[in-house]
Amino acid sequence: MKVKVKVPASSANIGPGFDCLGLAVNLYLYIEAEETGETTSVKRCPNTPKEAANLLQHSMEELFNLIDYKPKGLKLNIENEIPIARGLGSSSAYIVGGIVAAAKLAEANLSQQDLLNLAAKIEGHPDNITPCLNGGLTASFSEDGKVYASKLDLHPDFQFFALIPNFHLSTKVARGALPQMVSHSDASFNTSRTVLTLAALKNGDADLLKASLDDKLHQNYRIPLIPEYDKLFNSLQEIEEIACYLSGAGPTIMVITKESEKTEAELQKALNNLENPWGIKKLHPDLQGAVEL
Ligand code: HSE
């Protein structure tokens, strides 16, 4: 038995939607898994560090344990185009890829909800896991081991550009920078803007999006961890037709716009002023999520 699965990258938080909103985008992790009856072997591409391959194998084991399945010798082949530790959901992709591949391999009788619950348990929060598994723009939360999730409308005119630096930021470190407590006013700042961000994304309202794509729960605490973030963010604020946010835990900045060609040139100009190399990737929403090929 051999399976091949394709799993998308994802951009979480989307401004004010900390630990809740996420969007699947078209950068992919590919996993080929075969039960050979021999010893386990793992072939990984250069963009898959050992820890990522371990996370994938651990996720497969969690799925096998859940259904009490004992695989006989696995051969894994991993190809990955998702930048690692950049705020584009690479760890969720390895988790989702692992459990989906394992479920297919074992022909497990599990629902999408079962897979979602298991993947979110491994990751610890569901905001990347949900779009990665289900595709599209999603909102989710976990309670008592169950993920409650919904796909949301996204206007087709919006374009996405990921500004990706050449340095990493681990989610663990970026979560460690967050305070234990926030004020009531900061919480309500985010609640109102989350609702209006979703309305703007649904209706294609770029002006409302620019106003509402703001946050007081995580971005400010993480800025000191990202070299030249202030400088870049300030020049991005001057580009009229864009809205932007820190993708996941960072350091990638995601730009949303309806004016793609002019914007790309202006973004490049902003990046040219920085000392660290940052790249631009034009991305599209992935609407399918994890699929078997
Ligand atoms: N919501 C998460 C965070 C996404 O901001 O820490 C990164 O995994």
pLDDT tens figures, 77-108: 999 999 999 999 999 999 999 999 999 999 99
Contact 21, 129 (CB under 8 A): no
pLDDT (tens digit per residue) in 24-51 = 999 999 999 999 988 889 999 999 999 9
Q: 205 CA to middle of ligand 1, Å?
A: 26
Categorize the per-residue pLDDT at 277 as very low, low, confident or very high, splitting at 50, 70 and 90. very high
**Contact 11 CB / ligand 1 (< 6 Å):** no
Rounded-to-integer distance, Cα 194 and Cα 188, Å:
10
> What one-letter code names the amino acid at 220?
N
The CB of 248 under 6 Å from ligand 1? The reply is yes
Residue 100 CB less than 6 A away from ligand 1:
no
Q: How confident is the model at residue 273 (pLDDT cuts 50, 70, 90)?
A: confident
Q: Which atom of ligand 1 approaches the CA of 174 most closely?
A: 6
Q: Is the CB of 218 under 6 A from ligand 1?
A: yes
State pTM to two decimals: 0.96
Q: Would the CB of 89 count as within 6 Å of ligand 1?
A: no
Most ligand 1 atoms within 8 A of CB, residue of 11, 13, 82 to mutate: 13
* CA–CA dist 101, 118 (Å, integer): 13
Percent pLDDT > 70 in the chain is 100
Tens digit of each residue's pLDDT (9 = 90 or more) over 152-195: 999 999 999 999 999 999 999 999 999 999 999 999 999 999 99
- Atom 4 of ligand 1: nearest residue by CA position: 248
| 239-253: pLDDT as tens digits | 999 999 999 999 999
Output the residue whose Cα is nearest ligand 1's atom 3: 249
Distances (CA, A) of 123 to 15, 19, 128, 142, 285: 20, 12, 9, 11, 22
Q: Which residues are registered as beta bridge partners of 292?
A: 5
pLDDT band at 285 (very low <50, low <70, confident <90, very high): very high
Please give the distance, rounded to the nearest whole angstrom, from the Cα atom of residue 2 to the centre of ligand 1.
33
Greater confidence (259 vs 96) lies with 96
Of ligand 1's listed atoms, the one at least distance from the Cα of 249 is 5
Q: What is the pLDDT of residues 196-205, one digit of tens each?
A: 999 999 999 9
Kindly state if the Cβ of 266 falls inside 6 Å of ligand 1: no
- Best mutation site among 11, 122, 128 for ligand 1, i.e. most ligand atoms within 8 A of its Cβ? 128
The CA distance from 197 to 184, in Å, is: 20
- 175 Cβ inside 6 Å of ligand 1: yes
Helix, strand, coil shares of the chain, percent, nearest 5, are 40, 25, 35
Residue 19 is predicted with a pLDDT of 97
| H helices present in the chain, as ranges | 50-66, 90-105, 112-123, 129-134, 171-176, 184-203, 206-212, 219-222, 229-237, 260-272
Residue 262: the pLDDT is: 85
